[in-house]
Amino acid sequence: MNNSSFRLSEIVARLGGKVLGDPETEVFQVATLEKAGQGQIAFLANAKYRKQLEASRAAAVIVAETDAELTELPRIVAVNPYSYFAKLSALLNPLPAMPPGIHPTAVIGDGAVIAPDAHIGANVSIGAAARIDAGTVVMVGCVIGERTIVGAHGRLYPNVTIYHDCVIGRHVIMHSGVVIGADGFGIAMDEGCWLKIPQIGRVIIGDHVEIGANTTIDRGALDDTVIEEGVKLDNQIQVAHNVRIGAHTAIAGCVGIAGSATIGKYCRIGGSAGILGHLQIADNVEIASFTLIGKSITEPGSYAGIYPFSRNDEWRNNAVHLRHLGELVKRVKALEQEMKSSKGEKA
């Protein structure tokens, strides 16, 4: 646990913003407005929590310019209090340092190159001709395939598996259970039996990507599966072969992305959404949770396809009507045509 404390003046010197109130106020941890106490700093990023600000016992708070006069507490005024809180939390809670070196139980293949300051934990397996760059941490039980490259200052939590020939950028975080480069679901029917199609592409992951626990990213069938820089993937996401995810896109848990879909930059995809294969999603698209995308999206904006829940008996009744929707449309069109004809006769 980090016990370092910082004065508000020191924080502003590092992260920007300005101090109102006592700049010598010291904080050692972040907390919510409701729970913060001595030595803790909270933040206000949403107007609906202003009442909590009034009652907060935090040592200091982070606020926007518009809220700067709502409290007498020592405060940091920032353009974006939420992102400022994120930066400050990282400052107050640095990742634990891992000692450089290779654990004696690790298995290192022939020709593998491991930076002297990398950390290779117990029972790690690193394949032949693989490369682990400077400052990267590979924790207990990870498997790195042959000829795979893991860029500098990465962090692989226990039991991450990266198959052969993959390329991982710098400052990449992979949480436990991540699997990179497994075969995509490529099969062909031949005389009543499925034939496996060899998956000979790679997975290429850019810099500053984070991948949540038990997320899987399949290698390409022929070309590569590509995750561009700054992408953030939550837990339990399935990314199929030959998918491309554009830079700085964020995807919440349990999303499924079928093969050869292309997702643009700066997209936001809610949990449990589904994207069918071979579709194109434009930049700056927001997709609501549980939405199924069945055709390409060519314009930025927000998209949703969620059927509201209801009591079970009501849902069943509505479902019956939905089954006859096509028939109902035909009847309405026929009535419209009949009304037009009737008006014509009267005229």
Phi, psi for 167 (deg, rounded to 5) = -125, 120
Using CA atoms, how far apart are residues 173 and 347, in angstroms rounded to an integer? Answer: 74
241 is a catalytic site residue? yes
Q: Provide the CA 245 distance to its chain's centre, in angstroms.
A: 11
Q: What element of type H or E holds 53?
A: helix 50-55
State the amino acid at position 314 in one-letter form: E
Residues in the chain: 347
The SS3 call for residue 148 is: coil
239 closest CA partner among 222, 263, 223: 263
Buried b (16+ CB within 10 A) or exposed e, 117-129: ebbbbeebbbbeb
As beta bridge partners, residue 137 has 119, 155
Phi, psi for 15 (deg, rounded to 5) = -110, -5
Using CA atoms, how far apart are residues 139 and 173, in angstroms rounded to an integer? Answer: 12
Of 241, 248, 278, 324, catalytic: 241
Using CA atoms, how far apart are residues 199 and 204, in angstroms rounded to an integer? Answer: 14
Token digits of residue 251: 């995807």
Using CA atoms, how far apart are residues 326 and 324, in angstroms rounded to an integer? Answer: 6
As beta bridge partners, residue 19 has 76
Using CA atoms, how far apart are residues 217 and 206, in angstroms rounded to an integer? Answer: 13
Phi, psi for 323 (deg, rounded to 5) = -60, -25
**Residue 108: HSE in the Cβ half-sphere, 13 Å Cα cutoff:** 18
- Residues taking part in catalysis: 241
